[in-house]
Each structure stands twice: as structure tokens, then as C-alpha cells.
């Protein structure tokens, strides 16, 4: 007879929920204990991302509880971002989204590393391109060209971010393409003697076009977060013009707020990305 439970990691027996010893004296509800047991299987890797869970009826029989108790447990796991229900298909393991902090300036790579997730970068291209008049204005470029670095960022082996970074040709001459294929851009810039000092970033909800969806293993029209970040060096010269598409259910925005904090800039829905209303910026020269 075929097991009703999904297979676990390669080379291991199929995953099967185990009964939980319920102690009425410890005050822990049954659904909480079950949620913890399933969560442990997820965090230990026995239930990998995308793995389907057995049906609610099967889980109830195995744990020795009612279907209603299982539904409560699954609701807890869903609130924690560990599972997601897909109508007509079932319930699947879903690793929680990573938190994208909007406070201190940090590269995407460093934020992922701090969250304890695994990051991998697929290098797509590094080439000189013709920029738009708006991009030339944003970066204070002397001419209509810049170098563009394009890559796909994988978190826990899932494509999550499609990122294109423009740097001035003068800066590109200092960078080794071999370094760019294996080292975060901010780190390469700093190793080249360029200090990353500040940045302006705009975040906006959007949807994926067909090409971007294909690179991110999503359906065209899937929700995404668009990030436009302009990074400056210690002399307030535009150093990197980043454009990134982030899979919509892979990230949450984390903002720290304080009643005494000073807000240096307000982003409006109609803000022209070419505007730089905060500081006078020094441009690049040939």
C-alpha cells in the first residue's frame, strides 16, 4: 500500500507525523503542541519548502485529535508563515518571508545572511549599456552610458530577486568582473576604495512581466515588490542605481519608528525618481 504521506529528504523515509503526548496539567492546548511538532519537522528540514502536508483528516487520525483541532494548529502555522493553503490543491510548506529592513543601509546579501537564510547569486551579465535620460540625470553622468550588472538572487535555493545595478563607467573601470560574479557589489566597491555612505530607496507594489516571471519561476502577472535604490559615496556622488523585482510573498518590509525620530525625506506617490530634493549631489566627470 502506498504511504499517504509525502516523501521527506532524499534518502530518508517518507515524512509521517508522530503522535504527541498531551499532558493536561501543563496548560498547553492540543493544537499548540501539534503546531510545534509540525513546525519542528519544517525547521529540521524533514518537510522542505513546497512539500504538501497530509490532509486534515489524515493528520487528525495520526495525532488522535479532531479535525477542528488540526485546523486550529494549521492556522497557527499559517500565521507563522510556515505553511500556505492553495485552493483545490492542499496545504504546502512555505518558509516564512525574509524581513527587508528599511533603517540602516545594508546590502541585500548582508540582510539575508543576518536572517540565517542561505543566499546564492546567479550572475547574468556585466556590460556597458545606453541609459535613459532620466537615469543619466539621476546618476549625474557626463554621458549616456553606464555599466550594468544583472543577476538573480536565490534565497534557500528559490529565485527571489531579479536585480539590475547601474554604475558609472568611471567606477566600472575599478571593478573586476570576476569579483562581481562571486562577491556582493557593495563589498566589491568597498574593496576598490569606494565608501558606500547613504541611499534613497523607493518601494512600490507591482506585477511581473513575462520575462521577469520566467527568471523568477513565477507566473506572469504575479505580485512583486519593486525597489529603486540610489546609493551614494562619501562625497555624495551617485554610486549605484539599483532596480530590483522581489517576489511578492518572499519579503516583508520591516520599519522601525520612533516618536522622536527625524524623517529626512518623504516619498510621495507622484515623486519623480529623477528628483533629488535632499542634498546637492556631486556628479561624475570623464
| Interval 92-108: pLDDT, tens | 888 666 666 565 666 66
In a domain, 156, yes or no: yes
217: left (phi over 0), alpha (psi -120 to 50) or beta: left
Looking at 38, 59, 93, the residue that finishes a domain is 93
More confident residue, 177 or 169: 169
What tens digit of pLDDT does each residue of 200-249 get?
A: 888 888 999 999 999 999 999 999 989 898 999 989 999 999 999 999 87
Do 46 and 150 lie in a common domain? no
Residue 85: what pLDDT?
85
Do residues 147 and 126 lie in contact, with contact meaning Cβ atoms separated by under 8 Å? yes
- Considering 20-29, 40-49, 150-159, 265-274, the range whose residues carry the highest mean pLDDT is 150-159
Under the banding of pLDDT at 50, 70 and 90, the label for residue 39 is confident
- Which structural domain range is residue 206 located in? 98-253
Residue 268 inside a domain? The answer is no
Question: Does 144 have pLDDT greater than 90?
Answer: yes
Q: How far is CA 120 from CA 76, 161, 244, in A?
A: 30, 11, 16
86 and 124 inside one domain: no
Query: Can you give the three-state secondary structure of 135-149, one letter per residue?
Result: HHHHHCCCCCEEEEE
> Are 109 and 243 in a shared domain?
yes
> Do 69 and 129 belong together in one domain?
no
Q: Please, is 55 exposed, middle or buried when counting C-beta atoms within 10 Å of its C-beta (0-12, 13-18, 19+)?
A: middle
Residue 235 lies in a domain: yes
Pairing of strands 238-247, 158-167: antiparallel
Boundary (domain end) residue, out of 59, 78, 93: 93
Is position 22 within any domain? no
Check whether residue 152 and residue 198 sit in a common domain.
yes
Q: Which residues touch 179 (CB under 8 Å, ≥6 apart)?
A: 188, 191
pTM: 0.63
Mean pLDDT throughout 20-40?
77
Q: Give the Cα separation of 272 and 202 in Å (integer).
A: 11
Neighbour tally for 7: CB within 10 Å = 12
Q: 239-286 pLDDT, tens per residue? A: 999 999 999 877 766 666 666 654 444 443 334 444 443 344 566 665
Number of domains in the chain: 2
- Secondary structure of 235-259 as H, E, C letters: CCCEEEEEEEEEEHHHEEEECCCCC
For residues 131 and 174, give the distance between their C-alpha atoms in angstroms, rounded to a whole number.
Answer: 20
Q: To the nearest whole percent, how much of the chain has pLDDT over 90? A: 31
Query: Which residues lie across from 73 on neighbouring strands?
Result: none
Mark whether 113 and 64 lie in a shared domain. Answer: no
Whether 38 is in a domain gets the answer yes
The reply to whether 128 and 228 lie within a common domain is yes
CATH of the domain at 75: 1.10.10.10
How many angstroms separate the Cα of 241 from the Cα of each of 60, 85, 131, 133, 207? 52, 37, 11, 14, 21
CATH code for the domain of 124? 3.40.1410.10
Report the distance separating Cα 186 and Cα 194, nearest Å.
9
Is the pLDDT at 132 greater than 60, yes or no? yes
Note whether residue 110 is domain-resident: yes
5 is a domain residue: no
Same domain, residue pair 143 and 49: no
Are 89 and 104 part of one and the same domain?
Answer: no
* Co-location of 67 and 105 in the same domain: no
131 and 164 share a domain? yes
Q: Note whether residue 173 is domain-resident.
A: yes
Give the pLDDT mean for 129-140.
Answer: 92
More confident call, 144 vs 111? 144
Q: Is the same domain home to 217 and 249? A: yes
Amino acid at each position: 500500500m502506498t504511504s499517504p504521506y509525502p516523501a521527506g529528504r532524499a534518502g530518508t523515509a517518507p515524512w509521517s507525523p508522530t503522535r504527541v503526548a498531551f499532558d493536561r496539567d501543563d496548560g498547553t492546548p492540543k493544537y499548540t503542541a501539534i503546531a510545534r511538532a509540525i513546525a519542528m519537522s519544517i525547521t529540521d528540514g524533514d518537510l522542505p519548502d513546497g512539500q504538501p502536508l497530509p490532509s486534515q483528516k489524515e493528520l487528525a487520525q495520526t495525532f488522535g485529535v479532531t479535525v477542528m483541532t488540526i485546523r486550529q494548529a494549521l492556522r497557527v502555522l499559517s500565521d507563522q508563515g510556515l505553511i500556505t493553503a492553495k485552493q483545490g490543491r492542499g496545504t504546502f510548506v512555505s518558509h516564512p518571508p525574509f524581513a527587508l529592513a528599511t533603517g540602516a543601509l545594508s546590502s541585500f546579501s548582508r540582510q539575508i545572511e543576518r536572517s540565517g537564510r542561505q543566499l546564492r547569486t546567479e550572475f547574468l551579465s556585466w556590460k556597458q549599456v545606453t541609459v535613459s535620460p532620466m537615469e543619466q540625470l539621476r546618476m549625474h553622468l557626463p554621458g549616456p552610458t553606464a555599466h550594468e550588472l544583472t543577476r538573480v538572487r536565490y534565497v534557500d535555493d528559490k529565485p527571489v530577486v531579479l536585480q539590475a545595478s547601474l554604475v558609472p563607467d568611471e567606477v566600472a573601470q575599478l571593478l573586476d568582473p570576476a569579483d562581481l560574479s562571486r562577491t556582493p557589489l557593495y563589498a566589491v566597491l568597498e574593496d576598490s576604495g569606494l565608501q558606500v555612505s547613504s541611499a534613497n530607496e523607493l518601494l512600490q507594489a507591482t506585477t511581473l512581466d513575462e520575462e521577469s516571471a520566467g527568471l523568477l519561476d513565477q507566473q506572469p502577472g504575479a505580485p512583486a515588490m519593486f525597489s529603486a535604490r540610489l546609493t551614494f559615496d562619501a562625497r555624495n556622488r551617485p554610486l549605484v542605481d539599483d532596480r530590483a523585482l522581489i517576489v511578492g510573498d518572499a519579503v516583508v518590509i520591516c520599519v522601525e519608528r520612533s516618536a522622536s525620530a527625524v524623517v529626512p525625506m518623504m516619498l510621495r506617490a507622484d515623486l519623480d525618481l529623477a528628483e533629488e530634493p535632499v542634498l546637492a549631489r556631486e556628479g561624475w566627470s570623464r
